[in-house]
Amino acid sequence: MGREIVSLKDLYVYFNNTVSLGDINLSIKQNTILGIIGPNGGGKTTLLRVILGLIKPDKGEIRVFGKTPEEGRKFIGYLPQYTIFDHSFPLNVFEVVLMGRYRGIFKDYSKEDKAAVINALKTVSMLEFKDRQIGRLSGGQLQRVFIARAIVREPKLLLLDEPTASIDPEMQSAFYDMLLKLKEKMAVVLITHDVGAVSVYVDEIACLNRRLFYHGPKEEGLEKIEEMYRCPIDLISHGVPHRVLRGH
Amino acid sequence: MIELFLKYEFMRNALIAAVLAGVTCGIIGTYVVIKRIVFLSGGIPHATFGGIGLGYLLGINPILTAIPFSVLSAFTIGAIHKKAKVNEDTAIGIVWAVGMALGVIFIGLSHTPASDLIGYLFGDIQTVQGSTLFMMLILDIIILISVFLFHREFLIVAFDEEFSTVVGVPSKSMYFLLLGLIALGVVVLIKAVGIILVIALLTIPATISRKFTSDIKKLMFISTFAGVTLTIIGLWLSYLFDLASGATIVLVLGIAFVIFSFLSR
């Protein structure tokens, strides 16, 4: 396990006077894939947004690369769960990914930036579409472009919010193999409902339903979750267990 | 057509105004259309009516008072939206009505004859004075320089505001700057087509141009060209048939839109 790059201590986030995240203690380590599982509405996306500094915690402490999230987020690549945009927006695939290399006001994109875009598009097997207008892609292709936009920064931490949701089944194993390669250079946090993938590719899991029910190596975690909730783990994300989880 | 524009000074001025308005159409209109803030670009000119009224009340060129009023209206919309967590369209509705109401009060207090107002409401490009042209030029230059400097930021913010924050774009400042530029653009267009019709110049040329390209730079150039050309055609037709210039320009834009919609199907 690598050294700690993100730490959350006794963190609380309230939304409309209800607890969205409570008593969160979590650390993210270098060269590790952390899978976050939990029911919908359990605060998984909120947690990523706190790490990015898009939501300010009401209580507790968060350090991202030893800094505040606003300062630390320049080392983060982010794939949101949904990206809402106008599908006729005048941008092509290359230009969208290039935005991931933004470095600051008055700083034009350099040759290295453009080379990095080509590389990132190769990594997600989307290079042949580089001149395609962004709205003229399938959901899965779009998702890969946004993954490229997240990794093109060469981040030290990659936050992926349900990345496999719109990726074709046959692309999924290629996607996870890509994560294993990326892991050599960065930490990856992966929100997923795909427990099968968690058991194969992920190093650590965190089980989140407003509170953190487990965080640690996956082997123990998977057993513990099953034990704790007395239901098969692949149900965690669906209907019934919402109630099961809330009971604790 | 050319002789006509060379012969009369008012037509020469109108021609220059058409070119200056076209530049605004091309640059600001492109952002309005791609960021889908058409309602905003309808709200700001209406709110600016307060500024026109203030000009009459103070006895100075209403375009001069329209500038701060327009910018302030745009910032108010932005502030209500961002700070009070009210939907942008609600914020626009509020500012739209309040600005117009202020205009009505100011004009009432200044005892301006209603006929004077028609030019500001519906445009009167043939009465543009040199001083107004100069102001339009300055505003266009400010718009061009700002877009030259901040086009990267505007593009990221327009495409995906949350992502822009994540990669370190000062997205709030850029959003307000863009609002401010739209406000300046609105002032440039008021003399050409009037408060009520500004929305046509901000949307139609850019929408037509989108059918030809999905490259933002080309989009700006084609929109500028379309804006200038269609405005001049409208101006020429309004002179020829003795019609209201602002309304004729808008009708020409509308007809062009219909033609290009059919052509590109």
Q: What angle do CA B126, B127, B132 make, to 5 degrees?
A: 115
Band of pLDDT at residue A248, cut at 50, 70 and 90: very low
Tens of pLDDT along B20-34? 999 998 999 999 999
Q: Which residue of B has its CA nearest to A159?
A: B166
Q: What is the mean pLDDT of residues A166-194?
A: 87
User: Residue B31: which H helix or E strand, with range?
Assistant: helix B9-34
Between B149, B162, B169, which is nearest A102 by CB? Answer: B169
Indicate yes or no: CB of B166 within 8 angstroms of CB of A88.
no
Q: What are residue B144's phi and psi, to 5 degrees?
A: -60, -45
Residue where the block lists tokens 């640059």: B27
Report whether pLDDT(A232) > 70: no
Report whether pLDDT(B82) > 90: no
Substitution target from A78, A81, A91 for chain B, most B beta carbons within 10 A: A91
Report whether pLDDT(B265) > 70: no
On chain B, the residues whose CB falls within 8 A of the CB of A109 are 152
Q: What is the mean pLDDT of residues B88-111?
A: 94
B-proximal residues of A, 85-104, CB under 8 Å: 85-86, 88-92, 96, 99-100, 102-104
Mean of the per-residue pLDDT values of chain B = 93
Closest CA to A4 of A73, A70, A66: A66
On chain B, the residues whose CB falls within 8 A of the CB of A96 are 159
Percent of the residues in chain B that have a pLDDT greater than 90, as a whole number: 81
On chain A, the residues whose CB falls within 8 A of the CB of B162 are 54, 80
Q: What is the mean pLDDT of residues B12-26?
A: 93
- Long-range CB pairs of B239-244, under 8 A, 24+ apart, other chains included: B239/B4, B239/B11, B239/B126, B244/B122, B244/B123
The residue among B118 and B183 whose pLDDT is bigger is: B183
Closest CA to A124 of A136, A141, A102: A141
Report whether pLDDT(A12) > 50: yes
Report whether pLDDT(A234) > 60: no
Indicate yes or no: CB of A86 within 8 angstroms of CB of B168.
no
Q: What is the mean pLDDT of residues A151-160?
A: 95
| Token output for B122 | 């519906």
A-proximal residues of B, 137-196, CB under 8 Å: 149-150, 152-153, 155-156, 158-160, 162-170
Tens of pLDDT along B59-73? 999 999 999 999 999
Q: What are residue A82's phi and psi, to 5 degrees?
A: -125, 140
**Rounded-to-integer distance, Cα A128 and Cα B60, Å:** 60
Q: How far is A109 from chain B (nearest CA, A)?
A: 9
Query: Which segments of A41-152 does DSSP mark as H helices, in order?
Result: 44-51, 69-72, 93-98, 111-123, 139-151
Please indicate if any CB of chain B lies within 8 Å of the CB of A15: no
Beta-strand relationship, A187-191 and A59-64: unpaired
For the ranges B95-104, B112-121, B229-238, which has the lowest average pLDDT? B112-121
**Rounded-to-integer distance, Cα B109 and Cα B96, Å:** 20
Band of pLDDT at residue A197, cut at 50, 70 and 90: confident
**Rounded-to-integer distance, Cα A228 and Cα B176, Å:** 50
Residues 6+ apart with CB under 8 A from A22: A12, A13, A210, A211
Indicate yes or no: CB of A54 within 8 angstroms of CB of B152.
no
Q: What is the pLDDT of residue A175?
A: 87
On chain B, the residues whose CB falls within 8 A of the CB of A88 are 210, 214
Tens of pLDDT along A34-59? 999 888 888 999 999 999 999 999 99
Indicate yes or no: CB of B167 within 8 angstroms of CB of A85.
no
Residue where the block lists tokens 């320009």: B249
Indicate yes or no: CB of A99 within 8 angstroms of CB of B213.
no
What length does chain A have? Answer: 248
Beta-strand relationship, A204-209 and A211-217: antiparallel
HEC sequence for A76-105: EEEECCCCCCCCCCCCEHHHHHHHHHCCCC
Q: Which residue of A has its CA nearest to B174?
A: A105
Report whether pLDDT(A225) > 70: no
Enumerate domains of chain B plus CATH numbers.
2-264 (1.10.3470.10)
